[in-house]
Chain A
Amino acid sequence: MEWIPIANLSPRPERRNLQGVRVDLLVSPYDVPEALRGEYVREKGCFLIEFKYISNEETYEKPEMENVTVRLGRNSGRLYAIELDVQALQATSVELRIKIAKELKNVLTHLIEKPRSPLRSSNYSMAKEAVEMHQEEILQTV
């Protein structure tokens, strides 16, 4: 699958009071995905969504929720991929896209609420926004 370039993500400034000085901290450019792609791997019965950043690193896989595995950066904890076990969703072909979209949203919300590291919560938020923005294109292969 081709990478889908992501443009116009709008990271919200994080307003902090640092020793009496109000500062708007902005998301690191390394946390903002520059492209994403989604693929339905029929042989494995899973849907895989991947994110691309301006930097890369070694990754590792971790089961995050039931039927969901995420691939995170070994050094940064950044989100590089989500793999959904589609067969476990038990959806008809008509419902499949809707269920996958819902499951993706649940996983990303879960990651935002319980991040591996507090430094990465903005990365997961950016990933969620990117998925919502390009949902139709990602789910084309389903």
Chain B
Amino acid sequence: MLRESSATLVDKFIGSLEWAAALAVAVISACLKADETKLWPFLAHTVVTIRTSAWYMLPIVIIVAAISVKLRQAFGNRRTWKVVQVLLDHYWQESFAKDDDTKDDPRHFHRVTMFKHCRFHFGKWPFSGWMVPVARSGHSTKSGIRHFKASLDNPDQAEGVAGRAFAYQRMVPVYDLPNLNVARTNDDDIRRYAEKSFVSIKKIGKDRTSERPTPRSLLGIPVEVKGKPWGAIVLDSHHPKALILLDSVYGTVAKVFQEILR
């Protein structure tokens, strides 16, 4: 799930949790001061029960509130990810919608995907670094995006152009990849594709089994925030020609990323 969706879910859940925590603190505080002799019997019983358990309920509620703040920081504000989405769509527009070779193609034939480098990623082994997809241009092909290994201890084994761009802190262009989007391909083409795109043959095989289209050109661009490596952006296209960086457009996009990402 990309960050905009997960941040929206987390925001809604944490919003509810924060309301519940605030309400709980208000109720507990009221019960501490209430005189149960002046209340209806059933209410008096509830007040006494809450008062006797206040010594552990209050700390629990405060800890839950603190954890929810941290969770929100970890997932990021949903508005941040909406801005990232707008920027990726803008970069897509400038890169592909104005190019004579690509402007008439379906949108999902050419994409801009943002990856964040995470040391650990839930459910993924080994715990030595992964490029995790966090945002993608457009509205389709947003689920099941591949994660790529990118160990800081072994940069030459980083997977994909995303992993290599992050590991080397250089742009990694790959083009003229064999066309695997046909009914029959030979093993040589698959092997060459795997080598040039820094992905295993097994993963290429999985993509073909799941009928996931494979791009024919890629460009990995490292992303930094305040001078620190943060992740990478990958442009991919069904067109085999080399993709190029649009300096002025990327410069503007990078400046905004610097202010909103952490």
Q: CB within 8 Å of B: which residues of A?
A: 14, 18-21, 23-30, 32, 34, 54-58, 73-76, 78, 119, 122
Looking at the assembled complex, report how far the CB atom of B260 sits from the nearest CB atom of chain A, in whole angstroms: 13
B227 lies within 8 A of chain A by Cβ: yes
- B254 & A54 in contact (Cβ 8 Å cutoff): yes
- B156 & A29 in contact (Cβ 8 Å cutoff): no
Residue from A23, A27, A55, A73 within 8 A of B254 (CB atoms)? A55
- Considering the chains assembled together, what is the distance between the CA atoms of A76 and B230 in angstroms? 12
- B254 & A57 in contact (Cβ 8 Å cutoff): no
Some 9 contacts from A to B, beta carbons below 8 A apart, are A20-B195, A23-B174, A26-B173, A28-B221, A55-B225, A56-B227, A57-B228, A58-B227, A74-B227
B196 lies within 8 A of chain A by Cβ: yes
Which residues of B sit under 8 angstroms from A122, Cβ to Cβ? 170
Which chain B residues in 140-184 approach chain A with CB under 8 Å?
156, 164, 168-174
B222 lies within 8 A of chain A by Cβ: yes
User: Among the listed stretches B55-63, B75-83, B244-252, which one makes contact with chain A, having 4 or more residues with CB under 8 Å of it?
Assistant: B244-252
Categorize the interface residue count of chain B. Answer: 20 to 34
- A29 & B172 in contact (Cβ 8 Å cutoff): no
Which residues of B sit under 8 angstroms from A55, Cβ to Cβ? 224-227, 254-255, 258
Looking at the assembled complex, report how far the CB atom of A104 sits from the nearest CB atom of chain B, in whole angstroms: 23
B218-262 interface code vs A (CB 8 A; 1 in, 0 out): 000110111110000000000000000101001100110010000
Q: CB within 8 Å of A: which residues of B?
A: 156, 164, 168-174, 195-196, 198, 221-222, 224-228, 245, 247, 250-251, 254-255, 258
- B171 & A26 in contact (Cβ 8 Å cutoff): yes
B225 closest partner in A (C-beta): A55
- A28 & B222 in contact (Cβ 8 Å cutoff): yes
- B195 & A56 in contact (Cβ 8 Å cutoff): no
A20-B195, A55-B225 are known contacts. Are A28 and B171 too (CB-CB below 8 A)?
A: yes
- B172 & A25 in contact (Cβ 8 Å cutoff): yes
- A56 & B226 in contact (Cβ 8 Å cutoff): yes
B161 closest partner in A (C-beta): A23
Which residues of B sit under 8 angstroms from A73, Cβ to Cβ? 227
A57-B226, A57-B227, A75-B226 are known contacts. Are A30 and B170 too (CB-CB below 8 A)?
A: no
Which residues of A sit under 8 angstroms from B228, Cβ to Cβ? 57, 75-76
- Considering the chains assembled together, what is the distance between the CA atoms of A75 and B229 in angstroms? 9
Looking at the assembled complex, report how far the CB atom of A122 sits from the nearest CB atom of chain B, in whole angstroms: 8
A26 closest partner in B (C-beta): B171
- B227 & A29 in contact (Cβ 8 Å cutoff): no
- B224 & A27 in contact (Cβ 8 Å cutoff): no
Residue from B170, B195, B226, B250 within 8 A of A27 (CB atoms)? B170
Which residues of A sit under 8 angstroms from B245, Cβ to Cβ? 26, 29
- A29 & B258 in contact (Cβ 8 Å cutoff): no
Which residues of A sit under 8 angstroms from B168, Cβ to Cβ? 25, 119
Residue from A20, A21, A34 within 8 A of B251 (CB atoms)? A34
Which residues of B sit under 8 angstroms from A32, Cβ to Cβ? 247
Which residues of B sit under 8 angstroms from A19, Cβ to Cβ? 156, 195
- Considering the chains assembled together, what is the distance between the CA atoms of A32 and B169 in angstroms? 13
